[in-house]
Amino acid sequence: MIQLQYAEIQAESVADARERERELIQRSIDLLKRATQDDAETFALVEALHFTIRLWSSFLEDLADDNNELPKELRANLISIGIWILRESENIRQGESTNVEAIIEVSEILKDGIK
């Protein structure tokens, strides 16, 4: 009985963690979308990029951890995507790119894939 309760709690914890990940990615998407509106201030873009960079830096740290239970191939793919998002965010921040929409699109796909 105790094992069953522990398993239920653990399953709920994973579900809660996935929901938080979805919420954080959605927050990043919302900030990026707001920053691309015609009347958006430059600060909105800086804020959106800063949040996105911090979020993906945290995700990458977790994905690189040997204790992460995701399959290795999936972790590697997510790490590649995360590195691309960080690079693209930095390019936008430096004025070398304006490709915010691509970050939004990739983020939406990832968010929708989290179960």
- Residue 115 three-state SS: coil
DSSP 8-state code for residue 41: -
For residue 68, count CB atoms less than 10 angstroms from its CB and return exposed for 0-12, middle for 13-18, buried for 19 or more.
middle
Side chain identity at 36, as an amino acid letter? T
Per-residue pLDDT tens, the chain, 115 aa: give them. Answer: 444 454 444 445 878 889 999 999 999 999 999 999 877 678 999 999 999 999 999 999 999 999 898 999 999 999 999 999 999 999 999 999 999 999 999 999 999 998 7
